[in-house]
Amino acid sequence: MESLPEPVLDKILMDLSLKQLFQLKNPGKNAVHSSFIFSSKRCLKIKEKLVIKTRKKRRRSNGDQDNEQNLLDNDFFYNNFKDVISSMTGLKEVTGVPRHSEILAFLLKTCKNIDSLEAKLQGNSDFDFLQNQSLKMKNLNLWFLNNHSSLTSILSACPSLENLSLNVLSYDFPSIDLPKGLRTLTIQDVSHWTHQEYQIHVFSSPAIQTLEEITVNHVELYPFQVKPAPKLRKLTSNKPIDSRILTSLAMFSPFLTDLEIKMPEDGTPFSMEIRTLIRAKFTSITREELKEVIDKNPRIEELSFSFRGTKRKEVLTHELIRLRNLVKLDLSSNDKYYQFSFESILFFLENRASKEKPIEMVVDINLYSDTEYRTPLLNEISRQKDLGSKIVCRIGDLDPERDFYDYYKYLGL
C-alpha cells in the first residue's frame, strides 16, 4: 500500500461501502497502513450521497397474523450512525431515512449542506431545535406526516426549498406555510397504505409566484381554494376535478401546458376554458368533453385518455384527426368494452391532420371486428412504421401484451 499514490487510493476507496470505509478508519486489531486510513477518512468526507436501505422482517403474533416491522438493513449503520454522519461533512443527498426521529434530528443538526432529503417521520418528532436555523435544502420528500409542528419546524428552516413532496397520514392542509421560492409541490394521502381509516383531505394551493407544478393524489381540490399561480405549467390530480378550477387556471396560469385529471362522473357540467395545453391526460372522458378540449386546444402534441361512453369510432374518425401537432396518442385500456375497430384505426391513420409527422400510438383493438379492414390496416401500419411511427395495437381479447401487427406477421399473413 505504501507505493500507491493518494489519487489511486481515493479511487479505490470511493467504491467501498460506508461499513468498509468505517472499518478502515477504525481498524481495531487489524493492522491497516496509515496512508490507507488517512485516505479513507478523506473519502468519507467527500462522499455526497447516503442511501439507507430498509427491509421488512416478519414476526408471528398468536400464530395467525404476521406483524411487519421495518428494520435497518445495516445494523452497523444504526449502531454507529453518529460517527458515520459526523465523518461525512460533504454529504448532499440522503435517501431512505427510517422512522427513527433521533437519526433524522442528528442529520439536520450535523449536515447543514444537505441538498436533497427523503425521510420518514415518527409520530410526535420534536424539531424545535431548527428554529432560527437556515438549511440549504432544495429537495425534500417526507413520509407518514401526521404532525403539524414537525412539518412547520422543518419548512421554516428551509427557505431555499424548490421541490417538496408530502406523503401524509392525517393533516390540515390549509395551514401549510410554504417557502416562497417553491417550484414543485406533491401532496399524497397514504393513510390507506397503513390500513388506517381513509380520510379525504382538502388541499389549499398556495399563492406562490414561483410554483410551476402541483400534483395531488387522493386529495380533494376545491375551486375556492385554488390560488393564482402565474408560472404554473403542470397540474396532476387523480380525484374528479371541478371545471371551475380549470376556469381559474385559465385566468391566472397562462403557461399551463400539462394537465392530468380525472373527469367528474356525477353529471356535473364540464367546461374547458384552458387554451394552452400541449400534453394532456384525461381519465373517464366523454366524446362531448373531448371535443370541447380539442376545440379549445388545437396545439395538443401528446394526448392520453380512457373513454367513457359508446361512440368510440367517432372519437377517432371525427375528433382526433383534427389535431395537426399530435405526435403521441395513448388509447390503451384494460376494459374490453373500449376496444377500437379495424375501420376506425385505419381511418385515423389515413386521415389524421398530422400524418406528415411520425406518431407514437397505443390503442386496444377488437380482433373480431370488421375483418375486411384487417389487411388494409396491416398495410397502413407497415407504411407508417417505414416513416418512423411506432404503432402498437394491443389485442386485449387474445393477449394484452401482444401487438396486432406482430401477431399477424408471426402468422405469416
pLDDT number for residue 125: 66
pLDDT number for residue 284: 86
Three-state secondary structure call for residue 298: coil
Element (H, E) at 202: strand 201-205
The strand pairing partners of 9, in sequence order, are none
Distance (Å, whole) CA 304 – CA 361: 10
pLDDT number for residue 286: 85
pLDDT number for residue 256: 92
pLDDT number for residue 310: 62
The strand pairing partners of 59, in sequence order, are 67
pLDDT number for residue 401: 64
Q: How many CB atoms lie within 10 A of CB 335?
A: 10
Distance (Å, whole) CA 238 – CA 281: 11
Q: What is the pTM of this model?
A: 0.77
Task: Say if CB 301 and CB 257 are below 8 A apart.
Answer: no
What is the three-state SS of 234-276? Answer: EEEEEEECCHHHHHHHHHHCCCCCEEEEECCCCCCCCCCCCCC
Q: Which residue in this structure is represented by grid cell 486489531?
A: 29
**pLDDT tens over the chain, length 413 residues:** 556 676 776 777 767 766 676 666 665 545 556 666 666 666 777 777 877 765 544 444 444 433 333 334 455 566 677 777 777 778 888 887 766 767 788 888 888 889 999 888 766 666 777 877 888 899 999 887 766 777 778 888 888 999 998 887 765 544 567 788 888 988 887 766 544 443 444 444 555 678 888 887 877 666 545 566 788 899 998 888 878 888 888 888 889 999 999 888 777 777 888 999 999 999 888 888 899 999 999 999 999 988 776 666 677 788 899 999 999 999 887 565 668 888 889 999 999 998 888 999 998 887 777 788 888 998 999 999 998 999 988 876 555 567 777 777 666 55
Condensed to tens digits (0 to 9), the pLDDT of residues 136-160 reads 899 999 887 766 777 778 888 888 9
pLDDT number for residue 397: 56
pLDDT number for residue 368: 76
pLDDT number for residue 64: 42
Give residue limits of the domains in the chain.
1-46, 277-413
List b or e across 380-404, with b for residues whose CB sees 16 or more CB atoms inside 10 angstroms: bbeebeeeebebbbbbbeeeeebbb
